[in-house]
Amino acid sequence: RALEQDLRLALREGTTIEAVFQPVFASDTGELTSMEALARWNHKKLGPIAPDIFIPLAEETGLIADIGQIILDDTCRCLVDAPSTVSIAVNVSAIELASPSFPLRVLSTLESWEIDPSRLELEITESVAVEKRGAVESNIASLRGAGVRFAIDDFGTGYSSFARIRTLEIDRMKIDRSFIQDMEQSGNKELVSAMIAMAHARGMKITAEGVETLSQCQALKALRCDNLQGYLLSKPLSRDMALSKIGSDT
């Protein structure tokens, strides 16, 4: 496929794929506490290609680890210049997480940039958590043992079960934006409230994604949701814009 060839070329050249960073805020203080790294590909001829297109393509063609490494290096480059209280979350695909070389690759990257592993959070989806259980669980255990934190992304949308939540060692849940978007419809606020209670009962933090309106923001604060992320608060930003936003917010 033509796009696959272009992706290989882009990875070899190493200039058109990069991370942008979406700030995440503490709901009580409004402080910027972390950011989510998001992959962007600015194709030389076609312009921006959506991650929903090129991430699955990279997964099918064995290129996902190369993208993962670019995003992890961009993340470390940003962490080096950010206050030590700020952490960054990186999305990890199922294929990467089940790979035996994954933990060492992550830890040696952090070490080469001299970044404390506790400043990195890895976002996995619930479906990841179901596939290749043994490999995934041992990789999570060794990375958590080194201080890296884990979050379940898009919570509520995958093939999750309460048994998996009970056994997986995870530090955070991220409520999928679909639950936030229809929060004001009857009964849905109770659902979000139950997710927050569940996270806290398990000793986890919880982030609401896709916060787009002030009333969602206020409702989530009242429900004691720990962190908020969404276009109302900030869109994804370039590294330089993100770093200057930290400077002005804290």
Q: How far is the CB of 236 from ligand G (least distance, A)?
A: 5
Q: Which of 113, 202, 236, 237 binds ligand G (CB under 6 A)?
A: 236
By CB under 6 A, is residue 230 in contact with ligand G?
A: yes
Q: Which of 33, 91, 160, 227 binds ligand G (CB under 6 A)?
A: 91
Residue 160's binding partner among Na ion, ligand G, Mn ion, none (Cβ under 5 to 8 angstroms by kind) is none
Residue 75's binding partner among Mn ion, ligand G, Na ion, none (Cβ under 5 to 8 angstroms by kind) is none
String of contacts with ligand G for each residue 37-76, x by CB under 6 A: -xx----------xxx--x---------------x-----
By CB under 6 A, is residue 234 in contact with ligand G?
A: no
Residue 158's binding partner among ligand G, Na ion, Mn ion, none (Cβ under 5 to 8 angstroms by kind) is none
Residue 71's binding partner among Mn ion, Na ion, ligand G, none (Cβ under 5 to 8 angstroms by kind) is ligand G
Give the integer Cα–Cα distance in Å for 224 and 196: 8
Q: How far is the CB of 90 from Na ion (least distance, A)?
A: 13
String of contacts with Na ion for each residue 150-169, x by CB under 5 A: ---xx---------------
Residues that bind Mn ion (CB under 5 A): 91, 123, 153
Q: How far is the CB of 209 from Mn ion (least distance, A)?
A: 7
CA 100 and chain centroid, separation: 21
